[in-house]
Amino acid sequence: MCGKEMDYIQEAFDTNWIAPLGKNVDYFEREIAAYAGVKAAAALSSGTAAIHLALKACGVKQGDIVFCSDLTFAASCNPIIYEQAVPVFIDSERKSLNMSPAALEKAFKKQVPKAVIAVNLYGQSADMAAIKRICDKRNIPIIEDAAESLGATYKDKMSGSIGKFGVFSFNGNKIITTSGGGMLVSDDEEAIAKARFWATQARDQARHYQHSELGYNYRMSNIVAGIGRGQLTILSERIKQKKAIYEYYKNAFEEIGEIEMCPIASWGKPNYWLSIILLEPDSKIKPLDIMLALEKENIESRPVWKPMHLQPFYEHYEFFSDNSDAIAVSEDVFGRGVCLPSDTKMTEKDMARVCGIIKGLF
């Protein structure tokens, strides 16, 4: 927390607007929309809820096919199952580790989906121009899962503003947090208004409680939105801090040939949400060795996301890769990657300690 959050929270208490209504919710929606460069936004209880409502707004129904990035967290694709639709997973490319346009094109040759969920992994945009060209030819909407990439850019556009819908998350681990919450954004103001309606239990405009459609309890509270408004004021500072952490690790590991940093694609600027290292395939040191060595010193690290096509729940769904090697890109990255501590509260001493432990293994 930066301290400014309490001003907005106190205002909510002083005016007695605690529930999912109030000035903070209205203003947070406007502020995020303005920051992302879109016309409208709906403040919701989570990024997952935002993906769910985006799928509904795209008309996804039972039996429909939805293409989704393979290398991601399960929240990107779980809402497909909520609507009883069918996920199909698309492999990564190596420039950004995000959805491969070549693999996407390959999937399109076999079937046409109702929507495509393109994830901006670890704070970096996918190659949205290439993905958009493929989808626009078939008039298929893109849901841009920018849960990890608020503040990143693709060319001259903000992450989350390029697809038909953009999704942000304010979970506790994101670059700014509201403790929990999300945002659905779009230039389609009518679709966002409909999403707000669904998110408020689809209550009709009537004197009595009347519901003509299925609704959800997905709206963000005025307290949570107040936290978000305070956090948004320091987003640019957070991005600078995250970049400094990435650069520190990059410089520290330059002398170790078996370690490379997660690639940064030339088409945009990331928000450096998490600093990821990839070990060379023939490295004697493995990701688990690093995680256990850090764990012994009470330092947390994580594997990269386990690809969806390897998950027990999703392993029977189709998966498309354009990689000519024996192993998919997403699977290769999962086997070689480690997410290093990337908290903006870390000091140089903290980072030196992390790097010292890892270097000691080599």
Q: Which residues are catalytic, by number?
A: 174
Cα(308)–Cα(321) distance, integer angstroms: 13
Cβ-based neighbour number of residue 302 at 10 Å? 15
Tell me how far apart the 2 most distant CA atoms of the chain are, in Å: 70
**Could you tell me how many helices (H) and strands (E) the chain has, helices first?**
12, 14
Angle between helices 189-199 and 47-57 (to 10 degrees): 120
Cα(263)–Cα(122) distance, integer angstroms: 11
| Burial of 1 from C-beta contacts in 10 A (0-12 / 13-18 / 19+) | exposed
Contact 79, 48 (CB under 8 A): yes
Cα(350)–Cα(341) distance, integer angstroms: 9
Contact 124, 268 (CB under 8 A): yes
| Burial of 110 from C-beta contacts in 10 A (0-12 / 13-18 / 19+) | exposed
Report CA dihedral (250, 252, 255, 261) to the nearest 10 degrees: -20
Element (H, E) at 359: helix 348-361
Contact 32, 185 (CB under 8 A): yes
Pair type for strands 86-90 and 65-69: parallel
Cβ-based neighbour number of residue 247 at 10 Å? 13
| Residue 122 φ/ψ region, left for φ over 0, alpha for ψ in the -120 to 50 degree band, beta for the rest | left
